[in-house]
Structures are given as structure tokens and as C-alpha cells.
Amino acid sequence: LITQQSQDEMLRVFENNKKLKEAGNASEAKLIVVSISVQPVLSLAARFGLAPQDAFSKLSGYLKSIGADIVLDMTLSEDLSLLESENEFLERFRSKLDGSKAILPMLTSSCPGWVCYAEKTHGSFILPYISSTKSPQQIQGTLVKQYLANTKGYRAAQIYHVTVEPCYDKKLEASRSDFFSQTEDSHDVDCVITSLELEQMLTSQNLSLAEVPPSDIDFPWLEGSSCVEQAPYRGTLVRHRGTGSGGYADHVMAVAAQELFQESDAQFNFKVLRNSDFREAILEKDGQVVLRFAVANGFRNIQNLVQKLKRGKCPYDFVEIMACPSGCLNGGAQVRPQEGGLQKELTAHLENLYEGLASHNPKSNPLVQEIYSWLGGAGSDKTVANLHTSYHAVEKMNTALNIKW
């Protein structure tokens, strides 16, 4: 894992590709695709004093200057992850309304720090509660290694796919066997690079991101498709409603309130409860609480929640869980505060930058329908196979030996 997922390995692949192209063997070179999450862009924007959109295009320029062929945003994958989470929750909650056995609360799965902890510490008890929807990183992996590979005429193994993420745990997620295709001999994500590693790469070259010439964010998704309408967010950095960790609780609650109870999102608000990392929203109808959602960040809140669940006293229908205090904007591999700065202030600054981005609704993305058509429709076997995953309780013996997952 350490070798596969290091910046040295990434640079080795980039360098090898360059040599192959220079030697006239371009057909043997890989197609290098880099997908960038929003949190690292904001982290590097703050570090180099840039506006988020400038940082995004300069990051694209930098990655292309060292060998990337295609640089992508991850809005489409984030949209699909939110929409699949929504479908999964509605299905679970409708079972409850029908009086069938419903596995609630549904716990989000996009944070590998949390999933790893759950698999190692709480075994098979907790796993059914965890959403089967893949994280945006892994949906992006499927889109790049299957959809994009198809439309560009490549085999999955001919594409080297790098993601830029806010934490090291995303490297662990990418290297799970669930996200490796035996038939294609290919990982959906070959290498994960963090904000911190990118900062190190830049500073080791005595480069400020501010000096780097910008380049467009590529948008290869509509090539050859019948979808003529272009995605309105194309090439721009956007935010989803809710937290800078993906906005799962806010999105799913708004849809559930509307679809299940015909109530608008004006009827509920996420409020801070026992600490700033635990927020709750309640929807009432005719004096009854009909939906109760929460956002739990940081291990203290996660442990409390799991204990309640074990005692059968967890009152929630849905919980967005993120291992880092303050969520992904404060991820463990985001750039540290500069001399004299405080982590708290930096996180608040990143939250402000996130708030300032153009708001984006997954349902307004025309490309989502294109992807569902390719998958045979929402809920089809192909959709489940490509946009969902499963979890595995780690053997007690491994836990006892403290083998890292």
C-alpha cells in the first residue's frame, strides 16, 4: 500500500509515461486521469492565498505540467453518491412505514476512517446499518475505469487514475479489494494524493501555486452521448447543501421530508446539540416527530452514537458520520496552518470558502441521467453493482494483533 499509494510512485508513473511518449511509444503510455475533490482545492487556495476557482485551475495546470492527461472535478460522483444515498434511505424508511423490518438508522459510508473503525471494532453488529452506497471517490473510480475508458476506447488497466483527497484514509479505501477488478487487473483508483503531499511537491520545487499557469478542468463525460445539454457547473467548483463533508444529512433529509411527508426544507434546521461536532434536525408533522437526522463528527461523538445503537437507544433515522472533528474540510492531510495560525481559524476559513461556492443540486445535473441510462436505470442490477459496495467485519485475531487495515 505504502509503495502503491505514494507520491513517488505517482511521479514514477508520470515520468515513465513521458519517456514512452518522447521515445515515440505513445501507444504504450497510460492515460493519466486525476480527479480532484473540493476540500483539497480549498485547503491549497487558503495556503497560497488564491480564490478557490483560481486554485482549482492552477492545480489543473500544475498536474498537467507534471504529466496528467485529463483533470476532472468530482461533482458528478458526489451527485451520484447523494442520489444513491437518498434512494437507499427512502427504501429503508418506507419499510418502516409499511411495518416491515427496517434497518435504521442508516449511517453514511463515505468516510473510510469511520468505516475502518466500524469494521475493526464493532464487527458484524454495525455493518447492516452502514449505507452500501459507494463514496464519491469510489464512484469516480467506476466512472473513470468503466464509463470513460469505454467512451475513449481504453481498457481499465491502460488508465492510471489518481484522486486528490483531504486524508490518508482515502488511500486505504482505494486499496480495498472491493475496488479492484480481477478481470481487468485494475484498481478503480490507482493512487491517492493528499493536499499535504501536493503542498510538499510544490514547495520541494520552490513553486507557489499562485505562479503556476492555469488550465481548464476537463469535461469528457458528454463525448459521443445523445445528451446535448451541457452541465451548468462544467469546469467550476461547486458546493452541495449542508456540510463540507458531502452534505449527506442535509440532502437526504430535504428529499425525505418532501417525498415522504410533503414538507419543504423550511420545516427543519440542523442545530448544534451537545458540542459543535454533533448536530441534529427534526421534522414534525401533526405534533409528532416523523424524521430525526444527525451529523456526528469526531470519534467522541461516534463512540457515543455506537453505544446508544448497541443499547437500542439511538433515536435517529439517519446519521452522517465523519471521523475528523469538523469533517473533511479539517481532514488529517489538509495543509496545516502557517506559522502562528490556529487550526480552528483555518477550518473556519475553509468553511467560509466552501459557503462562498456556487450552490449545486444533484437533481439539476443532466449528466446524472446519462449515467443512469448507461447503468440501465436507477435501481438496476448494474447500478447496484457499480454504485454500491459491501463491508467486512475484521477478524478479532487481526484486531488483537493490531494489524492495520
- Residue 328 engages ligand SF4 in binding (rule: CB under 6 A): yes
Considering the complex, state which of residue 328 and residue 387 has its C-beta at the smaller distance from ligand SF4: 328
Q: Which residues contact 244 (CB under 8 A, 6 or more apart)?
A: 38, 39, 42, 327, 328, 329, 350, 351, 354
Enumerate residues 107-146 that contact ligand SF4 by CB under 6 A.
111, 113
The three grid cell numbers given for residue 204, joined into one nine-digit string: 520541494
CB of 331 to ligand SF4, least distance (A): 3
- Site size for ligand SF4 (CB under 6 A): 12
The residues, ordered by sequence, that sit 6+ positions from 287 with a Cβ below 8 Å of its Cβ are none
Pick the closer one to ligand SF4 by CB: 31 or 191.
Answer: 191
Nearer to ligand SF4, 67 or 242 (CB): 242
Nearest to 357 by CA among 214, 240, 252: 240
Do 158 and 30 touch, CB atoms closer than 8 A?
A: yes
Q: How far apart are CB 247 and ligand SF4 at their closest, in Å?
A: 13
Which window, 162-170, 228-236, 304-312, 341-349, contacts ligand SF4 (CB under 6 A)? Answer: 162-170
Instruction: Choose the stretch contacting ligand SF4; rule: CB under 6 A; options: 259-267, 321-329, 336-344, 360-368.
Output: 321-329
Classify residue 83 by burial, with Cβ atoms within 10 Å: 0-12, 13-18, 19+.
buried
How many CB atoms within 10 Å of residue 368? 18
Residue from the set 169, 190, 197, 199 that interacts with ligand SF4 by CB under 6 A: 169
Q: Is 245 in the site for ligand SF4 (CB under 6 A)?
A: yes
Which C-beta is closer to ligand SF4: that of 63 or that of 328?
328
Instruction: Output Rg (C-alpha) for the chain, integer angstroms.
Output: 21
Q: Minimum distance from CB of 245 to ligand SF4 (Å)?
A: 6
Min separation Cβ 117 and ligand SF4, Å: 10
Stretch that binds ligand SF4, among 11-19, 206-214, 322-330, 356-364 (CB under 6 A): 322-330
User: Residues 67, 136, 166, 244: which binds ligand SF4 (CB under 6 A)?
Assistant: 166
Sheet with 70-73: list strands edge to edge: 70-73, 31-36, 159-165, 191-194
Nearer to ligand SF4 (CB atom), residue 194 or residue 386: 194
Q: How far is Cα of residue 116 from the mean position of the Cα atoms in its chain? A: 15
The answer to whether 295 contacts ligand SF4 (rule: CB under 6 A) is no
Query: Could you tell me if 34 and 72 are in contact, meaning their C-beta atoms sit under 8 angstroms apart?
Result: yes
Q: Kindly state whether residue 323 participates in binding ligand SF4, applying the rule CB under 6 A.
A: yes
164 lies in the site for ligand SF4, by CB under 6 A: no
Q: Site for ligand SF4 (CB under 6 A): which residue of 82, 148, 324, 367?
A: 324
Q: DSSP character for 71?
A: E
Q: How far is residue 63 from each of residues 162, 209, 380, measured CA to CA in Å?
A: 11, 11, 36
Q: Tell me how far the alpha carbon of residue 161 is from its chain's centroid.
A: 15
* C-alpha cell of residue 286: 401533526
Query: What is the closest distance, in whole angstroms, from the C-beta atom of residue 123 to ligand SF4 in the complex?
Result: 20
Q: Which of 44, 45, 70, 322 binds ligand SF4 (CB under 6 A)?
A: 322
Closest-CA residue to 116 (of 355, 321, 338): 321
Phi, psi of 213 (to 5 degrees): -65, 140
In the complex, the smallest distance separating the C-beta of residue 324 from ligand SF4, rounded to whole angstroms, is 3
Q: What is the Cα–Cα distance from 47 to 139, expressed in whole angstroms?
A: 28
If the CB atoms of residues 237 and 302 are measured against ligand SF4, the closer one turns out to be: 302
CB nearest ligand SF4: which residue? 331
Instruction: With contacts defined by CB under 6 A, name the span among 22-30, 49-57, 69-77, 325-333 that binds ligand SF4.
Output: 325-333
Which CB, 67 or 298, lies closer to ligand SF4?
298
Q: For the segment 170-229, give every residue that binds ligand SF4 (CB under 6 A).
A: none
Q: Which of 70, 76, 164, 167 binds ligand SF4 (CB under 6 A)?
A: 167
Calculate the alpha carbon distances from 101 to 91, 95, 314 in Å: 12, 6, 16
Beta strands 186-187 and 180-181: pairing type? antiparallel
Residues of the shown chain interacting with ligand SF4 in the complex, contacts defined by CB under 6 A? 111, 113, 166-167, 169, 245, 322-324, 327-328, 331
